[in-house]
Structure 1
């Protein structure tokens, strides 16, 4: 009798979001102002910030593009809280989700970055479309 040893899945199948997620070093509270977010984005040279609620859970993601309408009027930036802006909100991905499925969801939703949260909604990191694509298209080696 011949037995077959299961082969590892090919081309990214079997990978999860946890295999591809990156830490997110930059976060902002949802009650901070647009002006404060803009200062962080410019100072750090980054394109997005994860938004935390008052309880520390992920509320979404804000980008420079999303802040642009508020930045055109200086008095708005000083008084407008991040929570009042149109920014990417949930649902978010979780670390156990299949990477191929997450990549499809990101394409459908037109997301370049997707927050990764635990079962309680706390931020674990981010999944970028670029990183997911690289991992899914790299042959096993």
Structure 2
């Protein structure tokens, strides 16, 4: 069960941070899992991307369903290729204390639809989506 609390109202003129816009994300896969295992998760969970974590549990990157397509073309690839060899997005990642305007700019420059948010030790805190950033910055500008 996920409980979300509403953050306290910010004083006027206070900049939004990534923490204000990030969302929790549950779907993760170990970097040594195979492409076949990732494909199974994509099909069963109906998600477009998975967060990849290393053997220590740290955020190692992100893999998309579209990014797996070349590896799925030949069945023997799916059983032998680890997910870490298919990741299209590796660090650096966003920090929760980063200004949301800076994160929005970085996402536009890198052409990212999703950006993992990590803590100081490299563990996943959540994700930042381009749609959420756009909505929050537009709402802030209108206020």
Structure 1: 5+ residue stretches without partners: 1-6
Matched residues, number: 131
- Residue 87 of structure 1: how far off its partner (Å): 2.1
Aligned to 1:124: 125
- Residue 86 of structure 1: how far off its partner (Å): 3.9
- Residue 94 of structure 1: how far off its partner (Å): 0.4
CA distance, structure 1, for counterparts of residue 91 and residue 56 of structure 2: 16
CA distance, structure 1, for counterparts of residue 37 and residue 97 of structure 2: 33
- Give the 3-state SS of the residue equivalent to 1:59 in structure 2: strand
Structure 2: 5+ residue stretches without partners: 1-10
Q: Larger radius of gyration, structure 1 or 2?
A: 1
Calculate the TM-score normalised by the size of structure 2. 0.89
Write the deviation string for residues 38-82 of structure 1: whole angstroms up to 9, x where unpaired.
Answer: 111111111000000001100000001111100101110011101
Higher relative contact order (CA 8 A, sep 6+): 1
CA RMSD of aligned residues (A): 1.1
CA distance, structure 2, for counterparts of residue 105 and residue 42 of structure 1: 30
Aligned to 1:4: none
CA distance, structure 1, for counterparts of residue 115 and residue 101 of structure 2: 14
CA distance, structure 2, for counterparts of residue 54 and residue 37 of structure 1: 16
Aligned to 1:14: 15
Aligned to 1:36: 37
- Give the 3-state SS of the residue equivalent to 1:89 in structure 2: coil
Contact 2:67 2:87 in 1 (8 A): yes
How has the CA–CA distance of structure 1 residues 75 and 36 changed in structure 2, closer, same or farther, with 3 Å as cutoff? same
Is 1:134 aligned to 2:128, yes or no? no
